[in-house]
């Protein structure tokens, strides 16, 4: 089978390419140039820099496969960066990796792969995909049975990335290959060392690739058409506690950087004193330019609604039980999930969850299987 591998220059995608080549597949390495690198800046973030493109090419040479660099600057800016800026200025906390995976790697890259005559696209994601026969088709001939593709968590729970892949369509899953999803991270590095891949001990990327200095606020300010404006930090009753330089500098659940550490209370005298209760961001109100803060207990919520919901199983006609995960590093929690139609869903958790954040993804699991997910609205 001819397979295109999205090579980022990291150890995971490099091992993915090496494994497929070793298995006898006709492998082509493709790397994506995602932003302008003509001004001599090589460390744009923590992945996809010009140095990473060179690393990908070195790996391709080491395992003897062809390698090409594709310019996706326009698509990346339109589908990922612009969304990132819009979300922050709207008082939401974006998840650019999920948009990059579905809107770029498994959409645009699939189209390019067809141009190479490839049947599938592989990445270094820690996840698994497998085909299953639909119920009622057990007696159908193998070539005629309908199939659905199931997305599952990786074998290594500490590296699982299925959360970022919830929006993949059945067509995309049918052509997706995740060669490292069935092995722990240390086994991946051990394989890279055994094959003497030049990136065997390269550190993992941790931050958003297009933020050069991890200063999200300054990036948003430079790229926003509507400059973020200052406003008030208020408590739950609406009392002004401090001023801020823009809601894009805050996210729900944040404690540091508020400019006020603990809850002030009015004493019997004329001066406010601190109660000693730590403050957290509870909500962002972009229309009023307000950041609402309060105690940690006020972050607890039991329900949320989501939009842009993608079901990887048949859309349920009534409430279903599943585990819902509200952040990448969050433990999935038992919940009742109800489809509201038109790409919307409501999630009611059995126990309160801390810092449910608009703009992040909520992903639904049945055991290790992803059954759907969407974008948190409120």
Give me 360's structure tokens: 């992040």
Determine whether 97 is an active site residue. no
Measured between alpha carbons, how far is 11 from 16 in angstroms, rounded to an integer? Answer: 9
Q: Which of 47, 48, 97, 100 is catalytic?
A: 100
User: Pairing between strand 176-177 and 120-122?
Assistant: parallel
By the 10 Å C-beta count (0-12 exposed, 13-18 middle, 19+ buried), 131 is classed as exposed
Task: State yes or no: is 100 an active-site residue.
Answer: yes
Reference 240, options 264, 217, 220; nearest CA is 264
The two most distant CA atoms of the chain are separated, in Å, by: 84
Q: β-strands 272-278, 262-266: how paired?
A: antiparallel
Choose the catalytic residue: 47, 48, 97, 209.
209
Alpha helices in the chain (DSSP H): 11-22, 50-62, 73-76, 82-89, 96-99, 109-115, 170-174, 185-194, 216-223
* Integer Cα distance of 202 and 180 in angstroms: 16
% helix / strand / coil in the chain, to the nearest 5? Answer: 25, 30, 45
In angstroms, rounded to a whole number, what is the distance separating the alpha carbons of residues 375 and 94?
9
- Residues serving a catalytic function are 100, 209
């Amino acid at each position: 089978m001819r397979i295109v591998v999205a090579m980022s220059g990291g150890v995971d995608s490099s091992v993915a390419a090496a494994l497929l080549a070793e298995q006898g597949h006709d492998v082509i390495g493709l790397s994506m140039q995602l932003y302008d690198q003509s001004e001599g800046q090589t460390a744009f973030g923590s992945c996809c820099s010009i140095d990473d493109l060179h690393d990908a090419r070195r790996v391709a040479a080491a395992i003897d496969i062809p390698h090409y660099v594709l310019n996706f600057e326009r698509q990346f800016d339109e589908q990922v960066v612009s969304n990132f800026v819009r979300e922050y200025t709207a008082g939401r906390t974006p998840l650019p990796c999920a948009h990059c995976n579905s809107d770029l790697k498994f959409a645009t890259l699939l189209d390019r792969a067809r141009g190479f005559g490839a049947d599938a696209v592989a990445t270094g994601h820690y996840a698994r995909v497998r085909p299953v026969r639909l119920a009622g088709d057990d007696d159908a001939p193998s070539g005629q049975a309908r199939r659905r593709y199931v997305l599952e968590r990786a074998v290594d729970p500490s590296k699982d990335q299925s959360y970022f892949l919830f929006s993949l369509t059945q067509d995309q899953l049918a052509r997706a290959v995740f060669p490292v999803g069935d092995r722990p991270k240390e086994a991946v590095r051990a394989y890279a060392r055994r094959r003497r891949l030049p990136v065997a001990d390269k550190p993992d990327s941790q931050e958003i690739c297009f933020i050069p200095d991890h200063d999200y606020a300054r990036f948003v300010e430079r790229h926003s058409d509507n400059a973020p404006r200052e406003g008030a930090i208020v408590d739950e009753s609406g009392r002004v506690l401090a001023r801020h330089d823009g809601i894009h500098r805050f996210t729900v659940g944040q404690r540091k950087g508020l400019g006020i550490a603990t809850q002030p209370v009015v004493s019997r005298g004329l001066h406010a004193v601190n109660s000693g209760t730590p403050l957290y961001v509870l909500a962002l109100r972009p229309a009023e330019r307000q950041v609402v803060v309060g105690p940690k207990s006020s972050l607890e919520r039991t329900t949320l609604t989501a939009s842009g919901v993608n079901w990887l199983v048949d859309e349920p006609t009534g409430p279903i039980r599943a585990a819902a995960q509200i952040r990448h590093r969050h433990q999935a929690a038992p919940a009742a999930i109800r489809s509201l139609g038109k790409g919307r869903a409501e999630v009611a958790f059995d126990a309160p969850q801390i810092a449910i954040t608009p703009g992040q993804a909520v992903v639904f699991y049945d055991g290790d299987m992803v059954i759907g997910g969407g974008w948190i609205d409120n």
